[in-house]
Structure 1
Amino acid sequence: MQDASPHPAQPRNQLHGVTLEAIVLALQARYGWDDLAVRIPVRCFSHDPSVKSSLKFLRKTPWAREKVEGLYLYMLREDRRRQRLPD
């Protein structure tokens, strides 16, 4: 009998292994709550924001989570692009 891996390798998926909490923390550190609320206009970022309330909302709201994940991937692409550019 062959043991199946519970999580197959996903080398091309940049979100694989990254928790939603890590994503929210990285975005908050980069943009701050105010800019994050402008980029993704949801109440959890604009009214008394916290990581805990954001995670609760994003776990229940797939469209908002997709926007947050998309912004995170954009941030990663921008970081890579900046590293490739000469000073």
Structure 2
Amino acid sequence: MHETPPRVAQPRNPLHGVTLETIVRALEAHYGWADLAKRIPVRCFSHDPSVKSSLKFLRKTPWAREKVEGLYLFMLREQRRMQRPAD
């Protein structure tokens, strides 16, 4: 019988605990489908885009998922930068 290894806390990983659906919804809300398709040129963002079709594609396509996760991290950094008070 196999035991599941305990989950390791990842306090420095901003993607830890964030679902792919949450990432896609956040990017769509921030950039919109058209701008998202320009930033990451894949059909699921440019031709009849939806969260469902995007998730289906991204779960099967590791290189595209990496690009989406990278753009999400970039968006989070930009949002944090914009929230900093001016010196």
Residues 8-87 of structure 1: pairs in structure 2 closer than 5 A: 8-86=8-86
Partner Cα separation in structure 1 for residue 85 and residue 79 of structure 2: 10
Partner Cα separation in structure 2 for residue 81 and residue 12 of structure 1: 18
Partner Cα separation in structure 2 for residue 78 and residue 84 of structure 1: 10
Alpha-carbon deviation of 1:86? Answer: 2.1
Alpha-carbon deviation of 1:84? Answer: 1.1
Unpaired runs of 5+ residues, structure 1, are none
Alpha-carbon deviation of 1:85? Answer: 4.0
Aligned length: 84
Q: TM-score, normalised by structure 1?
A: 0.91
Q: What percentage of residue pairs aligned between the two structures are identical? A: 81
